[in-house]
Structure 1
Amino acid sequence: MFFQPISYISNFFGWLLSPLFNFIKRILRPFIKWILRQTTGLCELQRTCYCEPSGAPRILGIEYSLKKSKSVQVHTLLQFLDLAAREKRFTSVGSAKIIHNTVETICFIKKIHLDAHQPFTKLFGECVSIIWTLKQLLHDLENIRTTGYDSSNMEHEKKLLELWNLLMPMKELECRVSNLWKDIGFQGDDPKTDFRGMGLLGLENLHFFAKNYPEVALQVLSHSNHPIHGYSFAIVGINLTHLAYNLWKDGTAKSHIYNICCHQLQVPGPTLLHFHRFYCYLFIEFDKLWMAEKPATIMEFGRIRSKFENEIRLLLSYPNCLFKLNIPVEHV
């Protein structure tokens, strides 16, 4: 209690000085950029490409520089790239032309001589490709998320039944609507009602986890069936789909995404496979935390879920963050 007033004062001044610091930073930014341009002969985009390490530090720097640009031409270019992402034009065929034209446009706007700065064209092009391929993927994820589970769709039904067979290989599902679905953590007799929140994306994630990491998925399922510290496997899995989706959508996961693309030399950028693997990482790590916490009741889910999200967001706040699945044998 003695240190509480000091803590309040410290927090107050921190709250007071943070906006002031950001205001000063915004005011000085153009002046600092001008000085560096005059002294180095390089624009901010070039300095970022040449000086920042590969991965998230470089790509985030490029993204920030483009976003903060005061050039009308640059913002027109960004609008074009956003439209191309919405229209899904970043494909194996279409990406090359879009990236080439983008690099040429930026070089013209920034007065960069292509012949003298060939490394820039390659590095900047890779950054642009990854940034807008991610934006395109987010549109795809949203489409999957908003696609509701349809029991009259044979593809949906097939994937759901495959999920059962993967998780319960020794037990036959006697009929489609059954109380047995609770054995893998659904709430009722028909799992389709549990997919309402995240749509088909919830099923896709669960199916991917069970199919590609079967031994680990079965181990996690066994943990969820613990007589004292158990939880609903499928329901928690769908909840973690919601977490994974939000981390990607709000940009928190960019550090991991950008690093994994460069680490695996994945150009033009992230794919649905990366999202599924990210989800699997979350599920495995959540299960570890849950079992370590040993909650006395499922009512503690909210607390543990919040703790888990805070820890994940903290890790993702570091530019060098890269989540890896520590599994002996990967089947992907």
Structure 2
Amino acid sequence: MIVFNIWSVLQWYLRPFIKWFLRKTTRLCELQRICYGDRVGSERTRNVEKSLMMSRTRDVKEVVSYLDGTVLQRRFIRSHFREILDPSVAIILRVKKINPKLHVSFIVSFRRCLEQIWSYRSLIDEVEELRRTQFDSNNDEHEQMLLNLWSLLVPDSPLEGRVSKQWQHIGFQGDDPKTDFRGMGLLGLENLLFFATNYLQVSRHVLSHSLHPTYGYTYAIVGINITSMAYYLLKDGSAKTYMFNAKQSLPSINLFHKFYCYLFYEFDKMWIESKPQNIMEFSMIFKKFENAVRMELADPASVFRINIEVDNI
């Protein structure tokens, strides 16, 4: 740890000299070297972000502060990208003395990185707001979401009442599911509902695994644990690998839901393959799963997809 801290301090002081030397020898600034040399996706975008965050140039710091402000104002959305990003890119071109006519591909690449970086920051705020929003039984929209979850997962068994032991069939702890959402708020319910809505057969298949007499688990409670895991992966930046490697999409709540679906499906697969003796092994297997996911996310080239395999156990 001491060696690491010393190296970090040395890097901080040596960084300007290294950048100056590379600029003189390559005739490219650091951002250009990243956008031209690094693999498109997570590797490139993370390095652009790191370069911007470590910059000591006043104008660059002001660009970063301005973009952060648009996130706080909820203005960093696609319809505002041109008015927000055009002047920001122009400032960077001026500060770094980049000729826009000679480096058109740099502008395209750099702009995409900015879109990804600050869309991710916007997503963190959006997810945080959902997590803090508690399930409200007096809110008709919340209630309808919960009822939709039941009808999607168990279409052939109508609920006898809003408060019912039937909820335990899909893995809630008691007669009223609202108490189980306290930790992750509405985010937990939205994740479960997205999985059931967009991957209906897969979610029902996972539910059937949870009802297995030997390897069963509490579907909804495990799903909320997966929400917690996805939330912290997003907050600590680990999920950037997934978000930045999604070629057709910018970081968004929809992409976060898909990340959740991937995690839930893959956890269920690991759980069944582990053949646990009972639910008491949950913490150990869940930690093993989280470590495996973190290891995969540590590879900037990782691309997560749901590879659907329906089996019988």
TM-score tier by shorter-chain length is over 0.9
Counterpart CA distance in 2 for 1:24 and 1:75 is 22
Q: Secondary structure at the match of 2:192?
A: helix
Shift of 1:46: 0.9
Match of 2:306 in 1: 325
Match of 1:302 in 2: 283
Letter in 1 for 2:209: H
Match of 2:272 in 1: 291
1:130 aligns with 2:106: no
Match of 2:221 in 1: 235
Letter in 1 for 2:13: I
Letter in 2 for 1:190: D
Match of 1:280 in 2: 261
Deviation by residue 1:14-68 (Cα, 9 ceiling, x = unmatched): x554334434433332221111101111110111111112111110110010011
Among 276, 296, 299, which residue is 1:315 paired with?
296
Match of 1:7 in 2: none
Counterpart CA distance in 2 for 1:197 and 1:47 is 44
Residue correspondences, number: 310
Among 37, 54, 61, which residue is 1:75 paired with?
61
Among 195, 207, 210, which residue is 1:221 paired with?
207
Counterpart CA distance in 1 for 2:292 and 2:148 is 33
Q: Secondary structure at the match of 2:78?
A: coil
Match of 2:195 in 1: 209
Shift of 1:256: 1.3
Counterpart CA distance in 1 for 2:176 and 2:14 is 59
Match of 2:96 in 1: 110
Among 172, 189, 200, which residue is 2:158 paired with?
172
Deviation by residue 1:188-208 (Cα, 9 ceiling, x = unmatched): 000000000000010000001
Match of 2:106 in 1: 120
Match of 1:66 in 2: 52
Counterpart CA distance in 1 for 2:66 and 2:14 is 29
TM-score of the superposition, structure 1-length normalised?
0.90
Deviation by residue 1:203-237 (Cα, 9 ceiling, x = unmatched): 00000111111111111111111112211000000
Q: Secondary structure at the match of 2:79?
A: coil
Counterpart CA distance in 2 for 1:137 and 1:253 is 11
Q: Secondary structure at the match of 1:94?
A: helix
Among 85, 88, 97, which residue is 2:71 paired with?
85
Match of 2:169 in 1: 183
Percent identity over the alignment is: 49
Letter in 2 for 1:285: E
Among 27, 30, 33, which residue is 1:41 paired with?
27
Q: Secondary structure at the match of 1:169?
A: coil
Letter in 1 for 2:31: L
Shift of 1:90: 1.8
TM-score of the superposition, structure 2-length normalised?
0.95
Letter in 2 for 1:142: E
Shift of 1:147: 0.6
Deviation by residue 1:86-129 (Cα, 9 ceiling, x = unmatched): 11112232111111111001112212222222222111111101
Letter in 1 for 2:107: T
Counterpart CA distance in 1 for 2:309 and 2:273 is 21
Letter in 2 for 1:318: D
Counterpart CA distance in 2 for 1:27 and 1:91 is 37
Shift of 1:305: 1.1
**CA root-mean-square deviation:** 1.4
Among 87, 90, 93, which residue is 1:101 paired with?
87
Unaligned ranges ≥5, structure 1: 1-14
Counterpart CA distance in 1 for 2:2 and 2:128 is 38
Counterpart CA distance in 1 for 2:189 and 2:257 is 11
Counterpart CA distance in 2 for 1:205 and 1:113 is 46
> Which aligned runs of 4 or more in structure 1 are off by greater than 3 angstroms?
15-27
Letter in 2 for 1:189: D
Letter in 2 for 1:284: Y
Deviation by residue 1:218-276 (Cα, 9 ceiling, x = unmatched): 1111111111221100000011001001101110111111011xx22x3xx22211111
